[in-house]
Structure 1
Amino acid sequence: MITVDDACHSQEACKKIKNTECKNGKCQCLPNYKKRNGNCLGLEKAPCETSKDCFSKNATCKSKKVRVSGSIPS
């Protein structure tokens, strides 16, 4: 099974890993996402489905966007 940082030759190879792209020959997190425990989790304002998709422990998924507690909404 392919994981974040594994070698790839096309976008197709990384499709099974949420929020990744094939870049520089590796499956890497998309911009505005950061790796944690083999997953790419959303930073502030990144699209999300649930709060489990958020990188920050004090973030929630509201209106399908990552919102971090204490930040000013846009």
Structure 2
Amino acid sequence: MGEAFFSGTLTQIYYLTQADIQVIWQNFRQFADKQWSFTDCSSKTILEKLNCKEAFAFDHHFRQFGSVTVVPIL
């Protein structure tokens, strides 16, 4: 599984840029009332940047993003 993951045959790995990190930090500060972690804000920022409309997640914060449909639906 690890070989397939890191070779790019299973998925695409996205590496954060310095510009991404700056936007993530802005989101982290802007949405402080949501109690989102920096990782949550990273997910939100990159999902939106890549125009992803669905996310597979069990973290309830993903449902607060408002920009993606979370699967599985609980």
Q: Which has the higher strand share?
A: 1
TM-score for the superposition, normalised by structure 1: 0.27
TM-score for the superposition, normalised by structure 2: 0.27
